[in-house]
Chain A
């Protein structure tokens, strides 16, 4: 597999925040990590991005063990929840920031930056200040900035949570389109079931730091592995067979 998390563990003091987490993801797929707030999603993402060192386990990307690689050298980029844009730079300067550290000429950097701005539909705002942009536009700049360095893996931490509902829906579809178009491998963290079901090729449901289930949206929805996963997905009641598997799920909301 392209991305493999093997038995990841993370503690903060006494608290075990991520427990024996193992995941796999194929190239070009989009994985959603879905879970309630505080279940360890951001922590997991930060370990993949290199900002936290796992207490146990390792991370393989494209066959290479990247666990000891510092974030500035990992072929992985993150779109942060609050974007982390540089307020003292223009839109284009933001997008091209990561390219400064690659062996590229000024001309190449500019062209690459502009092409990614075009991709997110903001080419005309290249010289704007960050503060002059709306929330949705800032979101796009952050995305373009992360994609411009052409990482092997792109991580997104609840990137749409600061947007209003209508914009969020629009951005979801746009992200999905981009991801398909560029064939980029993504890990997307969210606590929103609907978002996960729309976006993901595969969904990993996390509960209290551990993996509860990993499957395609359809399978997950049809066959939640545990009552708590079912509850979290908005499935209220389950009827069980004699052998202990789910017989019937009674949903409060219709499937999408």
Chain B
């Protein structure tokens, strides 16, 4: 930024080649911004361009065709998303209240189940659903003797609602833990019974957060194609139609236009979300109080009981789901008798170890490169405020709003011909993961960055260091906590998110999520269960490691 570097103060080796170092600084910036343009802006433009292609040049015809042909799916999407967002929000709020007011082992168990659900790949609930409530399901068929068709929209809504709960619930738990204890105490002090406190103080204060949950669940449901594809049966949504279009590679113009339809509600929801977030108070920064909410739900009247029952139901179903997953992988049924077997596990290790190792390696690469990218990017954008910073900031936020299919089809359109022929390579998969996750990692880094006093930076410059010294000596050390959070986020997202990657992956170089999806889709439930268990265990291990590393840092800071 400033041209008049103070020179001659620091006589270290660093100061020897100021011109070279300035060049390096520019080069890094160029790489970052170039990456953003190439891997976010360009694919998006490709979709827009392709959706407007018709027989006689530029036209909006395709939108009309899609509207006519897929009107039903669109309505299905909106219906499903509406039901899912309401049901999921009910579950999330109840769960958050249950955990926030709970104590001891129950709270720990609840958090544990939430964490496991959070790091589960998206098809796990569909898989468990088929096993438990399907045509030959443990509960519907074997226990209750029902014969029914489980492949319909209610299954989709139910399963989406369960699997979207963790993110919402953790968000609400965070809000509850930041809630002003004095407000709650005052209410009590003035004579309010627990029921009144819940109704008059807790729920109203939580309202913006609850709205955020409704919104986010809506958007996720609209964009989710995995659940309807696996358990929707003949019930299709626009997202599952896009998936079917794409896997056939039949009509990219049509798929592009369909994606543009998906884009509108997503972007609208995003801006509403941003507006609401302004009202929920700071997300990070101040440490959440570890104090639990002093409220006994059983004494909170009807609303309290509703929370207890719904939250209990959620945990019951989730618990059952994971018991079922593990059981499916290890229990064999021969002529009606059940027995423990490692046969499936052996098969998995024999045929799929390569896939699993590849998944972990990819996830590690994305975690390292992505985190580094986010740290540098947030430094240049938020700290150096390079030219056009707002524009690039918006660009980097774009993938957050986009449904995975949309981002995926953009990559197919952008990178399937020379000179940028990347389809079928690992690079396109890695880049897709990295840039899809960039909005979140950038925000984490920005939050931490804002806590590094600018005076430290000035001090480096003042004492004769240049921008690179600032980065190495102030920014990177200061961003260490963000590094760990981003690493964990990148790793677990890369291991568990299916979205766009399903279309981009080369069948010869499969990943675990893909294999899992494949196995659920084609009915190999034992393999799918083991794959899911593997993914969950690996992610939990890495997250646990990061958690420990973070803890140690903090402890050493104190002492």
Contacts and interface: CB of A to CB of B under 8 A. Distances in A.
Interface in A66-104: 70-73, 76-78, 80-88, 97-98, 100-102
A149 interface: yes
Interface residues of B, number: 20
B43 to A, nearest CB: 43
Contact of A149 (B180, B190, B196, B207): B190
A43 B187 CA distance: 19
Interface in B188-214: 188-193, 196, 200-201, 204-205, 207
Contacts of A145: 186, 190
Contact of A84 (B182, B191, B193): B182
B185 interface: yes
A170 to B, nearest CB: 23
Given A88-B204, A97-B200, A101-B196, A82 B180 contact: yes
A47 B196 CA distance: 22
B87 to A, nearest CB: 26
Interface in A44-71: 49, 51, 70-71
Contacts of A80: 182, 185-186
B183 interface: yes
A71 B205 contact: no
Contacts of B183: 84-87
Contact of B186 (A70, A85, A102): A85
Interface in A141-180: 142, 145-146, 149
B191 A149 contact: yes
A121 to B, nearest CB: 21
Interface residues of A, number: 27
Interface in A121-156: 142, 145-146, 149
A77 B188 CA distance: 9
Contact of B185 (A73, A78, A98): A78
A76 B189 CA distance: 7
Interface string B471-483: 0000000000000
B182 A83 contact: yes
A78 B189 contact: yes
Contacts of A146: 189-190
A70 B187 CA distance: 13
Interface in B480-518: none
Nearest to B190: A98
Interface in B164-193: 180-193
B207 to A, nearest CB: 8
A149 B189 CA distance: 10
Contact of B189 (A71, A85, A87, A100): A71
Nearest to A102: B191
Contacts of B190: 72, 77, 97-98, 101, 145-146, 149
B16 to A, nearest CB: 52
A215 B63 CA distance: 85
A73 B201 CA distance: 18
Contacts of A72: 188-193
B537 to A, nearest CB: 36
B205 to A, nearest CB: 6
A83 B102 CA distance: 26
Contacts, number: 75
A75 to B, nearest CB: 10
B191 A73 contact: yes
Nearest to A79: B186
A219 B193 CA distance: 43
Contacts of A77: 189-190
Contacts of B193: 72, 101
A71 B204 CA distance: 22
Contacts of A49: 185, 189
A146 B182 CA distance: 13
B205 A97 contact: no
A234 B191 CA distance: 41
Nearest to B191: A101
B280 to A, nearest CB: 12
A54 B42 CA distance: 67
B185 A84 contact: yes
Contacts of B189: 49, 51, 71-72, 76-78, 98, 146
A83 B196 CA distance: 19
A102 B196 CA distance: 13
Given A97-B200, A101-B196, A51 B191 contact: no
A84 B180 contact: yes
A71 B182 contact: no
Contacts of A81: 182
Nearest to A98: B190
Q: Which of A70, A76, A88, A149 has the most CB of B within 10 A?
A: A88
Given A72-B193, A88-B204, A88-B205, A82 B188 contact: no
Contacts of B181: 84
A61 B192 CA distance: 21
A51 B187 CA distance: 12
A71 B190 CA distance: 8
Contact of A101 (B180, B182, B192, B201): B192
Contacts of B184: 84
A156 to B, nearest CB: 12
A52 B187 CA distance: 16
B178 to A, nearest CB: 13
A81 to B, nearest CB: 7
A86 to B, nearest CB: 6
A213 B246 CA distance: 82
Contacts of A100: 191-192, 196
A76 B188 CA distance: 11
Nearest to A81: B182
A87 B188 CA distance: 16
Contacts of A73: 191
Nearest to A73: B191
A86 B186 CA distance: 9
Closest A-B pairs by Cβ, 10 of them = A84-B182, A98-B190, A101-B191, A84-B186, A80-B182, A88-B204, A84-B183, A82-B182, A71-B188, A72-B191
Given A85-B183, A86-B201, 6 more contacts: A70-B188, A82-B182, A84-B180, A98-B190, A100-B192, A145-B186
Interface of A: 49, 51, 70-73, 76-78, 80-88, 97-98, 100-102, 142, 145-146, 149
11 contacts: A51-B188, A73-B191, A77-B190, A80-B185, A82-B180, A83-B186, A88-B207, A97-B192, A97-B200, A100-B196, A145-B186
